[in-house]
Amino acid sequence: MKKRTIAWILCAVLCLALVGCGKTGGGEQTPQAENTAPAEQAPQEESAVPAEQTPQDEKQSVELPKQIEMIVPYSAGGGTDNAARVVADALSEQLGVKVIVTNQAGAASEIGDQAIAEAASDGSVIGVLGAPDPQYLVATKDTAFTMEDFRYLAVYNLSLPMLIGKADGFTTVEEIFDYGKEHPGEITIGVSGGGPKTEAAILMSCGEFEATVVDFGGSADVSTALLSGDIDLACLTPSYLSTLEPEGCVPLVYFSELKIDAYSDVPSLKEMGFDVNIAHNPVVVIPAGAPEEIVSRYQQALDAIGQDPAIKEAFEALNTTYYYMSGEELDSYMDGVDALITDMVERYSSVFQ
């Protein structure tokens, strides 16, 4: 009985030794694994695991809609519409699918914004938001949509908001801040729309003063009021300087971090130490919930468009600043604008009424 027990122990030790010998450093296969997967079967194993798809393979495997509608929440011929049509034509070529621009204007973009948010999320509808208008609407109204209803894809151009002073008025931002603190409510700032209202609130916040914000029906009306001296300051874009500057009006500060070359000497609030970066920009979006493979395919196409020198030239011909954003950079930028507008609306509610 004792001899039999010793024999069993020796047998067990021998088995353990054989198993231990099969495990070698560096991840090598054990003899047992080699026995279950003979060398001549290796090609069959490799063919069972599909090779990683290349971008070209992915393009061919994604089934796209027969036609894509691009909703623009503004009338035809405006800045957002012009930008959308450049992208639509290029996207049609990239995808091999016709992209049709439809204009659904009204209620300061709310009608079109809601149409994009409520559209089918199958990739047949995309849109172009005129940021920061939708953020402003969400912050100030009980809208039927939120910014979570959109998935941001790309930005190609920016209109850089700027503060412009009337002739023979303020010549620096510091002068505005000092005078505003000593004479609350006396300084008048002309605006039109949610973006410029936000910028006026930002200026007051940075300078810690109160001003009188005058709301006009359009930016052209704001420009006219500044030329006539009816207002002290205006929140406009550099495109208006071609008519304003010859009449003595002065560009004072950018609300955006970026600048245009012709006015690169004008300071930005960011350079003055304020954490401010806001621009007016058409944002290509798709309804939230769209299939990931569709989103990925559209993103590939939009990225390719963003690298095309001809597209840059097309946007510059529209007298806009070309700047391509997508992915995390775009998400981060839009989140920052959301937070900034929400803060300004809470602190300066009277400006947004």
Per-residue pLDDT, 15: 34
Please indicate, yes or no, if residue 23 is contained in any of the structural domains. Answer: no
230 occurs within a structural domain: yes
Structural domain contains residue 233: yes
Q: Which of 278, 307, 323 is the last residue of a domain?
A: 278
**Do residues 141 and 196 share a domain?**
no
Q: Give pLDDT, residue 319.
A: 81
pLDDT of residue 298: 98
**How far is 109 from 80, CA to CA, in rounded Å?**
11
Are residues 219 and 144 located together in one domain of the fold? no
Q: Once rounded to an integer, what is the mean pLDDT over residues 245-263?
A: 96
pTM: 0.79
Specify if 40 maps to a domain: no
d(CA 99, CA 88): 6
* Structural domain span for residue 153: 62-158+279-347
- Indicate if the pLDDT at residue 46 is higher than 50: no
CA–CA gap between residue 353 and residue 346 (Å, rounded): 12
Mean pLDDT within 130-141: 95
Determine contact, residues 177/207, Cβ cutoff 8 Å.
yes
Residues 175 and 129 in one domain: no
308 and 269 housed in the same domain: no
Name the band, by pLDDT with cuts 50, 70 and 90, for residue 32: very low
User: 334-351 pLDDT, tens per residue?
Assistant: 999 999 999 999 999 999
Count of domains observed in the chain: 2
Q: What is the rounded CA–CA span in Å between residue 300 and residue 310?
A: 17
Closest CA to 235 of 190, 188, 177, 187: 190
Residue 42 lies in a domain: no
Alpha-carbon dihedral of residues 118, 123, 127, 131, nearest 10 degrees? Answer: 80
4 in a domain, yes or no?
A: no
What DSSP character marks residue 53?
A: P
Contact indicator for 196, 108 with CB cutoff of 8 Å: no
Q: Do 182 and 272 fall within a single domain?
A: yes
Indicate if 145 and 70 belong to the same structural domain: yes
Same domain, 91 and 143: yes
Q: Are residues 326 and 263 in the same domain?
A: no
Residues 253 and 108 occupy one common structural domain: no
Residues 82 and 174 in one domain: no
> Would you say 226 and 163 are in contact if contact means Cβ atoms under 8 Å apart?
no
Q: What is the CATH number of the domain that holds 334?
A: 3.40.190.150
Residues 130 and 268 occupy one common structural domain: no
136-149 pLDDT, tens digit per residue, is 999 999 999 999 99
Regarding whether 239 and 191 lie in a shared domain, the answer is: yes
Q: 180 near 207, Cβ under 8 Å? A: yes
* Residue 150 pLDDT greater than 80, yes or no: yes
* Burial call 297-317: b when 16+ CB within 10 Å, e when fewer: bbbbbbeebbeeeebbebbee
Residues in the chain: 353
Does residue 36 belong to any structural domain of this protein?
Answer: no
Chosen domain end from 245, 278, 311: 278
pLDDT band at 52 (very low <50, low <70, confident <90, very high): low
Domain final residue, candidates 278, 303, 332: 278
Q: Is 329 part of a structural domain of the chain?
A: yes
Q: What is the per-residue pLDDT across 80-109, written as a single tens digit (0 to 9) for each?
A: 999 999 999 999 999 999 999 999 999 989
Residue 199's nearest CA partner among 136, 278, 129, 143 is 278
